[in-house]
Structures are given as structure tokens and as C-alpha cells.
Amino acid sequence: MKIHPLVVRITHWLNVLAVLVLVLSGWRIYNAAPVFEWFRFPAGLTLGGWLAGALQWHFAAMWLLGLNGLVYLAYGITSGHFRRKLLPISPRAVLHDVGQALRGRLQHEDLSVYNAAQRAAYLALIAALVLIVLSGLAIWKPVQLQELTALMGGYEGARVVHFVCMAAIVLIVVVHVVMVALVPRTLPTMITGRAP
């Protein structure tokens, strides 16, 4: 049974690479001028070696994430993928499925259907990725994109939005990886596209 189309699998794995590079290089950039003075990321968990190196990695991965994200969004909207896989969703169903997952009772027999917790997580991830790109643009070009920067509370506000989105993305990815570890038969479907 076909679970994930080729375009979804390719964009998924390109996003994995882009987000990993962006997070690790972003932590190095953050350490050079922290948003929160009391917090730094361990240097061993960063990428780039120094600020200029981290910026080069960050900008390279930024283009990959942006272009790949546009392909994924265009596909998801035009093909009906988002409508079929991520909707409908209700707060009651999300709370129920999250509660079941926390008790270790969440069923996931049919890999072609996302439960409400998955739908909420994927929608939140898409929203966080869109917002992190927009806040990143506001940080990168605050004068040229001054309207966007102003919407985020100015340059420092955009940095806070960027940091909060990064934290949300990392949290969602960690939960996603844990869930894949708990239901390992989901991993081959993102490689082959078919249920094992």
C-alpha cells in the first residue's frame, strides 16, 4: 500500500538536512549575540566553528529550506495532500490522542492515516517553519523588509520570534523522532513510500 508519494519523501529528507544544519549553525550564531544573556548553547553542539563560518552554513541551508518548503507547500495545496492528510482536526481529538500517547495507548495501525496528535504536530511544524523563514528574513534584511520586521516588533522582536520558532521546531522534531522509535515500522514508509 502506498503511504507517502515521492515528492513528500524527497522534501521530508531535504528538510531534515536543512533543519539540522540551520539549527546547529543557528546555535553558533546565537552564541555570538545571545537573545537571552543567561543562556548559551554548548560549542560542541554547534556548526561553523566561528561566526562567519556559521553564517555561511546558515545561509546555504536557508536557501535549501526555503526552496524545498515552497515545493512542499505547492504540492500539499495543489494535490490536496494537506486536506486529505492533515484535515479535519479538532482540539478535542488532539487532546484525546495526546492523552492516549502519554499513557502509551495510542493506536497507529493504519500508517496511511494520521491521528489527531500527528496532524496537530505537522500543522504546528509547518506554521513554525513558515514563521521562522519570515523572521529570518526580517533579521537578515531589516531595512529592506522593514514592514515585516515591524510586524515582529522590530529587529530584536524578530530575533525572539526566530528563537521561539527554533525551540518549537526542535521540540516537535524530538517528539517526532521518539514516536518513530516507538513505532519503528513508520520509518521504512518514509524511505520506500510503502507500508512494510
Q: Encode pLDDT of 147-176 as tens digits.
A: 999 999 999 999 999 999 999 999 999 999
- Higher confidence at residue 104 or residue 50? 50
Q: Are the C-beta atoms of residues 55 and 21 closer than 8 Å to each other?
A: no
What is the grid cell recorded at 5? Answer: 508519494
Query: Is 115 domain-assigned?
Result: yes
Q: What is the mean pLDDT of residues 40-55?
A: 96
Query: Is 91 domain-assigned?
Result: yes
Domain that holds residue 60: 6-128+182-192
User: How many domains is the chain built from?
Assistant: 1
Torsion sign over Cα 152, 157, 159, 165: negative
Query: Is 170 domain-assigned?
Result: no
Query: Is 23 domain-assigned?
Result: yes
pLDDT of residue 183: 86
| 107 pLDDT tier (thresholds 50, 70, 90) | confident
Query: Is 34 domain-assigned?
Result: yes
pTM of the model: 0.92
Query: Is 158 domain-assigned?
Result: no
Query: How many Cβ atoms from other residues are within 10 Å of residue 149's Cβ?
Result: 23
pLDDT at position 196 over 80: no
- Lowest mean pLDDT, pick from 35-44, 51-60, 67-76, 176-185: 176-185
The CA distance from 157 to 154, in Å, is: 5
% of the chain residues with pLDDT over 90: 85
Query: Is 144 domain-assigned?
Result: no
The CA distance from 82 to 155, in Å, is: 33
The CA distance from 56 to 17, in Å, is: 15
Average pLDDT for the chain: 94
Query: Is 124 domain-assigned?
Result: yes
| 110 pLDDT tier (thresholds 50, 70, 90) | confident
> Residue 61 carries which side chain, given as an amino acid letter?
A
pLDDT at position 130 over 90: yes
